[in-house]
Every structure is written in C-alpha cells, then in structure tokens.
Amino acid sequence: MSTSTHIVPSRSDRTNGSKTAPSPQPDYVETVIVRCDGSFCRKGNIAGIGYIIESNRGDTLEKHHSESKLAETSTQTEAHACLTAIRAAKKYNPSHLILYSDCDPVIDKITDGNPTHQKEVYHQIRHELQYIKRTNIKYTPRERNRKAHDLAHLSLRKLKDRYLDS
C-alpha cells in the first residue's frame, strides 16, 4: 500500500502566464522542505510512514503515505520515514534540503559524527544526503509536523484495518 500525490506546477505558474501542460518530471527546486513522520503499532509489528515535500515558497510538491516493512520499532519507523522522504525529495534536484522530524533520537543519530554502532538506515540516510550541496536536519514539535503525522497515522489505520481487524 503506497499513496503518493505529486503536485507539480504547470509552466504557466512558473513563467509569463502562457498555458502549457504540466511537466511530466519534477523540475529543479533550489530548496525543498521535507516533513516526515512514522507511526508504529507493536501489535502486529506494523508501521506506516508519511511525508510532505514543499518548496521554499510554501508550494506542496508531494504528499505520500505508505507501509514501512523494514521497521521493527517506532524509532526505526521514524528513520525509514526520513530515508523514504529524502529519496523522494532528491528527484527535485535540490541544492538545499531541510528535513524536519518530530523524533529527537532519529535527528541525533542522523547528525551523529560517530555512527559506528548504528543501524544501516542511518548510514543510508547520510549516504543520500551527501549528494545534496546543503542540508539542515532539524527537530520540530509534533504540532508543527501535523500533516506528516496525519499521513503516517492514515497509513497505519489502513494497515490495522487490513491486518488486525480481519
């Protein structure tokens, strides 16, 4: 189960107003703002993730929610949400990526300079980020991450309906 909505402005939104069809591929966006969240349920070991990618002008470029089959804890779910969102944001070819998560331990592990005893997911996140010229990884309170939180919980509710209520 994966639901993703790409919202790419038409050329008329980016140029002098003459209408053309929307671009089939995401265009270059100098700065992307990524808000991601994960939601984990121990009963059934199911996990859902959600993210929103925005331009620095506040335009929503993409919304996504899906199952995270690789996560076995709530912290791993949060980390996989970050990884999935970063990979999605890279298609916009940003020179600057700002990542917001409401999970402080994940932010600490992503930014830790000595990650020798960390799960592979943190190495993968840093690997993805090394190709972006400038990155900021920041903690944000859940209230400011509400849309991504809601997407992660939507995915988890659908998974619960499918696996636990049947």
pLDDT for the residue numbered 113: 62
User: Greater confidence, 164 or 74?
Assistant: 74
Domain chopping of the chain, boundaries: 28-163
Highest mean pLDDT among 16-20, 28-32, 128-132: 128-132
Q: In this model, does residue 132 exceed pLDDT 60?
A: yes
Among residues 157, 51, 54, which one has the least CA distance to residue 101? 51
Model confidence pLDDT, tens digit, residues 86-116: 999 999 999 999 999 999 999 999 988 666 6
Confidence class of residue 25 from pLDDT cuts 50, 70 and 90?
low
Model confidence pLDDT, tens digit, residues 27-63: 678 999 999 999 999 988 899 999 999 999 999 999 9
pLDDT for the residue numbered 19: 36
pTM of the entire predicted model: 0.82
Residues 46/159, Cβ–Cβ less than 8 Å: yes
The predicted model gives 110-138 an average pLDDT of: 86
Domain spanning 28-163: which CATH class is it, in words?
A: alpha beta
Sign of CA dihedral 55, 33, 133, 2: negative
Residues 49/148, Cβ–Cβ less than 8 Å: no
Q: In this model, does residue 10 exceed pLDDT 60?
A: no
Q: CB-based contacts of 54: which residues, under 8 Å, 6+ apart?
A: 32, 33, 34, 35, 60, 61
User: Greater confidence, 104 or 3?
Assistant: 104
pLDDT for the residue numbered 164: 77
User: In this prediction, what percent of the chain has a pLDDT beyond 70?
Assistant: 79
